[in-house]
Chains A and B, each alone.
Chain A
Amino acid sequence: MTVTKDQIESHGLKPDEYKKIKELLGRDANLLELGIFSAMWNEHCSYKSSKIHLKKLPTKNNIVIRGPGENAGVIDIGDDDAIVFKIESHNHPSFIEPYQGAATGVGGILRDVFTMGARPIALMNSIHFGLPQNEKTQNLLSGVVSGIGGYGNSVGIPTVGGETKFNSTYNENILVNAMAIGHANKNKIFYSEAKGINKPVVYVGSKTGRDGIHGATMASAEFDENSEEKKPTVQVGDPFAEKLLLEACLELMKDNSIISIQDMGAAGLTSSSVEMASKGKLGIELNLNKVPCRENNMTPYEMMLSESQERMLIILDDKKEEEARKIFDKWDLDFVVIGKTTNTNRLILNFDDKKIADIPIPALSDKAPLYERKWTKSKLSKNKVKIKDLKKIKIEDALIKILSSPNHSNKSWITDQYDQVVMCDTIQKSGGDSAIVRIHNKDKAIAISVDSSANYCKADPKSGGKQIVCENWRNLISVGAKPLAITNCLNFGNPEKPKIMGEFVECVDGIKEACEFLNFPVVSGNVSFYNETNSKSIFPTPVIGGIGVIDNLKKIVNIKTKKSGNLIMIVGKTLGHIDQSAFLQENFSIYGGPPPEINLVNEKNNGLIVLKLINENLALSVHDISSGGTLVSLAEMSISSGLGLKIYKPKKLTNSFEYFFGEDQGRYLIEFSKNNLKKIETFLKQNSVFFEVIAEVQNDIFEIEKTFSLKTKDLHDYNNQWYSKYNAIN
């Protein structure tokens, strides 16, 4: 039976795409085959709009073991230790069902990491919501946070940090990006490429249900209120099953019985089997009667397209089947041989002794459509704000307004719902510039930071793209880590619109330029398009997750000021760029103008020099200057320690607001002992780094000379109220 026009359309395939399917098959497709094509050719799985541009990103250097294209990226941190990591979006499902959407986002990214033989050691996230006063926000925030915690806490992987932001652009499209980081022996990494023919294809993990059918296709379209009945049931997560699957897989991986392994994520059994066969240039034949099903009378169509969670596909060494089965029996998980590898280069599906699908593998992968979409350059806003035209406010009021705003408030209401220390290797939880997790049983650690700057990217996508990479790099440096590599999650609107595609292309260009300059390769990532509702797109929101290494645990620093009498200097030049600043947004609701400029030369130089100061024990506490500018960063250092600061008035005749709230890039605050001032000055001058001493640490009082004086404790309170008030149970 051939498929109808309506069926083609409802599978999200365009008429010319179906024409191509017919050519590739040499005949019409049946409904099952159509479903399979739709699952493999959608944006989420095929990267058809983004691939051409993603190829530009730097993905290799001497520490990269495996770049993009696998379940996760792999980097070398020395001594046979490898770090496996990736970030991924779960935006669409989380908006429909926040708890399960977020939970299964975490589950999926964990599987990507342990599929490769790594034990997950940390989770991070970046979550974006609409304005707090938007009626949906509170429910979404609370559901997403519980979902992230509910999954990670139960599996027993610490959620060590992340970011939470609010902006009206996400009112109808929230972002939930989850990142997982694992540790493996670099000689024991597992890949998805199938090898050898007649090898058993084994299904392990949970049973297949009817949940999430066509989830990936739906995540590749704008939300459409009229297709309610086609909306997927969002997948339901079972962290308990995930924990068992994790332990069983890692136990099996001690041995050499796995030839290749792939988790069943988006597009479930379809994409996992196709991906393994495609990478190995082999065929795969499955008997769908063998697939463990949770519900009765499931059809082949449902089995192939279900996105039930906590499942894996393994190609095993045929001699090791019994040993492997024993391990999965021990963990009470299904272990069923459902097919074999073949040399036919085709995906062949059998059911009730009949061949029900027969598709050449390359048709689903290499020959999937690839689009060089039209794009237009973004118009940049040149309107610069003049401070003197604004209503007069006091510096301290502006500071308090920012510190108590949703975007800058202390997030312990969120992070107290995440187990941050299970596994007993968390050295620094959230709240600092980067999270720090020790490599188990070793005297070294990794630093992790997740960052985004949608406002900057909206104002200037290319510069914004550069900025996030730089900010991420800076956050890693600020704890004493050597930045190594990143993963990215690129959240955008509908790529079929040239303006949106332009934002994407320019952001990627910016990321590329910064990553190349900083030798900071992209080793994994994910693209999420169609974050649009009723044709209203989100701001371009690339999210960067970076990893750095700390070779000596004694060289770690944090943002807490240490001792009264110590001095604080700004490293990097303050120009007073006030457009796109938190100061203008929080105090005046002004959103226009260009973002701060990125100078990659200074960025790199300043960062490497700060790292040297940390390694020589000269920098006692460090904080990068980001959203909110110098004064907000100084306040955060004070709030963190409880000590006060005496801040000097700017020496040159600059505007105080621009000086204290400008968001010029490439800057750090460092605390040091007075005795070391000369030494540090000489060192910075020799390396042509601009600096100025700006404050002295004191007890209790946070003040700017002759301007204002506040109790640090009060600053702490201003910074700590918003979340609990917002979420108070009435």
Chain B
Amino acid sequence: MKSSVIVFPGSNCDRDVAVALEKLQFKNSMIWHKETELPKSDLIVVPGGFSYGDYLRSGAIAAKSNILSEVISAGKKGSLILGICNGFQILIECGLLQGALLRNSGLKFISKDIFVKVQSNKNKFFNKYKTGEILKLNIAHNEGNYFTDKKHLEELENNELIPLKYSDQKGNINLKTNPNGSINNIAGIFNKNKNILGMMPHPERMADKVLSGEDGLGLFLSLMN
């Protein structure tokens, strides 16, 4: 499996996701944002961080960078694309995913371990998990409060396009288990074809037993399936 991790000025989870990918024997390349060509890859990762300092609006400037036009066309052709945290924000800003990521409802940056419940495993990204499985992942963001219009929300809900929802350890999904105000506790969404995933939690931060757990590994393993 070949993967490409896009690196913007201000990306800071690029190394972390590369470590997780390489641990699973992905052949990974780091692609600088000024590049105009993307190597052939089975997976494109848009990593977390503060691309362009989050200035103007998180992800807004990165969405206009050279390499993004390549990512967009690859996505439209069906390549697998994973946007994590700031990467999710970028995928929304560039139009590959719909909706908006607003400021957290608590108006503070939040970084902590949270639980998410897998809503569906019938896709390329979560096939190694069971539907209903609870995962401990880490979030770290200021703008993770997902919002979309009613029609799109129905489309997401009715077509298994919401793979992850914030929950507690027992799987309860409600306001109390919602860390950032995200509509319907959404932690991640797919595009219609389910080849593009954007998620706020960081799977790469739960890929090492010595640290805080391995619940995120399944996502990368699923992609190898």
How far does the alpha carbon of A149 sit from the alpha carbon of B107 in the complex, in Å? 13
Residues of B within 8 A of A427 (CB): 210-211
A419 within 8 A of partner (CB):
yes
Contact of A417 (CB < 8 Å), options: B9, B16, B110: B110
B103 within 8 A of partner (CB):
no
Residues of A within 8 A of B138 (CB): 421
Within the complex, the shortest CB–CB distance from A147 to chain B, in Å, comes to 11
Binary contact readout B201-223 vs A (1 if CB under 8 angstroms, 0 otherwise): 00011011011100000000000
How far does the alpha carbon of A416 sit from the alpha carbon of B109 in the complex, in Å? 8
Residues of B within 8 A of A424 (CB): 15-16, 19-20, 204-205, 207-208, 211
Name which of B20, B53, B111, B138 has the most chain A CB atoms within 10 A of its CB: B111
Q: Size class of B's contact patch?
A: 20 to 34
How far does the alpha carbon of A438 sit from the alpha carbon of B19 in the complex, in Å? 14
Residues of B within 8 A of A426 (CB): 211-212
Q: Is B16's CB under 8 angstroms from A422's CB? A: yes
Q: Is B10's CB under 8 angstroms from A729's CB? A: no
A418 within 8 A of partner (CB):
yes
How far does the alpha carbon of A691 sit from the alpha carbon of B55 in the complex, in Å? 57
B112 within 8 A of partner (CB):
yes
How far does the alpha carbon of A427 sit from the alpha carbon of B210 in the complex, in Å? 7
Contact of B210 (CB < 8 Å), options: A155, A239, A423, A553: A553
A156 within 8 A of partner (CB):
yes
Within the complex, the shortest CB–CB distance from A426 to chain B, in Å, comes to 7
Within the complex, the shortest CB–CB distance from B22 to chain A, in Å, comes to 11
How far does the alpha carbon of A427 sit from the alpha carbon of B109 in the complex, in Å? 22
Contact of B111 (CB < 8 Å), options: A146, A153, A244, A425: A153
A240 within 8 A of partner (CB):
yes
How far does the alpha carbon of A243 sit from the alpha carbon of B53 in the complex, in Å? 9
In A257-281, the 8 Å CB interface with B consists of: none
Q: Is A244's CB under 8 angstroms from B9's CB? A: yes
A506 within 8 A of partner (CB):
no
Binary contact readout B35-58 vs A (1 if CB under 8 angstroms, 0 otherwise): 000000000000011101111000
Within the complex, the shortest CB–CB distance from A729 to chain B, in Å, comes to 7
A531 within 8 A of partner (CB):
no
B183 within 8 A of partner (CB):
no
Residues of A within 8 A of B50 (CB): 153-154, 156, 239-240, 243
Residues of B within 8 A of A553 (CB): 210
B13 within 8 A of partner (CB):
yes
A420 within 8 A of partner (CB):
yes
Q: Is A418's CB under 8 angstroms from B111's CB? A: yes
B140 within 8 A of partner (CB):
yes
How far does the alpha carbon of A100 sit from the alpha carbon of B16 in the complex, in Å? 28
How far does the alpha carbon of A239 sit from the alpha carbon of B111 in the complex, in Å? 18
How far does the alpha carbon of A729 sit from the alpha carbon of B31 in the complex, in Å? 43
Within the complex, the shortest CB–CB distance from B206 to chain A, in Å, comes to 9
B12 within 8 A of partner (CB):
yes
A150 within 8 A of partner (CB):
yes
Binary contact readout A154-179 vs B (1 if CB under 8 angstroms, 0 otherwise): 11100000000000000000000000
Which residue on chain A has the smallest CB distance to residue B212?
Answer: A421
Which residue on chain B has the smallest CB distance to residue A156?
Answer: B12
How far does the alpha carbon of A146 sit from the alpha carbon of B205 in the complex, in Å? 23
Residues of A within 8 A of B176 (CB): none
Residues of A within 8 A of B12 (CB): 154-156, 243, 422
B108 within 8 A of partner (CB):
yes
Within the complex, the shortest CB–CB distance from B159 to chain A, in Å, comes to 33
Binary contact readout A402-427 vs B (1 if CB under 8 angstroms, 0 otherwise): 00000000001000111111111111
Which residue on chain A has the smallest CB distance to residue B142?
Answer: A153
How far does the alpha carbon of A425 sit from the alpha carbon of B212 in the complex, in Å? 10
A331 within 8 A of partner (CB):
yes
In A221-245, the 8 Å CB interface with B consists of: 238-241, 243-244
Which residue on chain B has the smallest CB distance to residue A727?
Answer: B108
Q: Given the known A-B contacts A239-B50, A423-B16, A426-B211, are A150 and B109 also in contact in the complex, defined by CB atoms under 8 Å?
A: yes
Within the complex, the shortest CB–CB distance from A346 to chain B, in Å, comes to 39
Q: Is A240's CB under 8 angstroms from B13's CB? A: no
Residues of B within 8 A of A146 (CB): 108-109
Contact of B10 (CB < 8 Å), options: A243, A330, A419, A425: A243
Name which of A331, A420, A421 has the most chain B CB atoms within 10 A of its CB: A421
How far does the alpha carbon of A420 sit from the alpha carbon of B9 in the complex, in Å? 21
How far does the alpha carbon of A149 sit from the alpha carbon of B109 in the complex, in Å? 8
What are the nearest 10 A-B pairs in CB distance? Answer: A156-B12, A240-B53, A419-B140, A424-B16, A154-B50, A419-B111, A416-B112, A417-B109, A240-B10, A149-B109
Extra contacts besides A153-B50, A153-B109, A425-B211 (6): CB < 8 Å: A146-B109, A150-B109, A153-B140, A156-B12, A240-B54, A424-B20
29 A-B pairs within 8 Å (CB atoms) are namely: A153-B140, A154-B12, A154-B50, A154-B54, A156-B12, A239-B53, A240-B10, A240-B55, A332-B9, A412-B112, A417-B108, A417-B110, A419-B140, A420-B111, A421-B111, A421-B138, A421-B205, A422-B12, A422-B13, A424-B15, A424-B19, A424-B204, A424-B207, A424-B208, A425-B211, A426-B212, A427-B210, A438-B210, A438-B211
- B residues touching A (Cβ–Cβ < 8 Å)? 9-10, 12-13, 15-16, 19-20, 32, 34, 48-50, 52-55, 107-112, 138, 140, 204-205, 207-208, 210-212
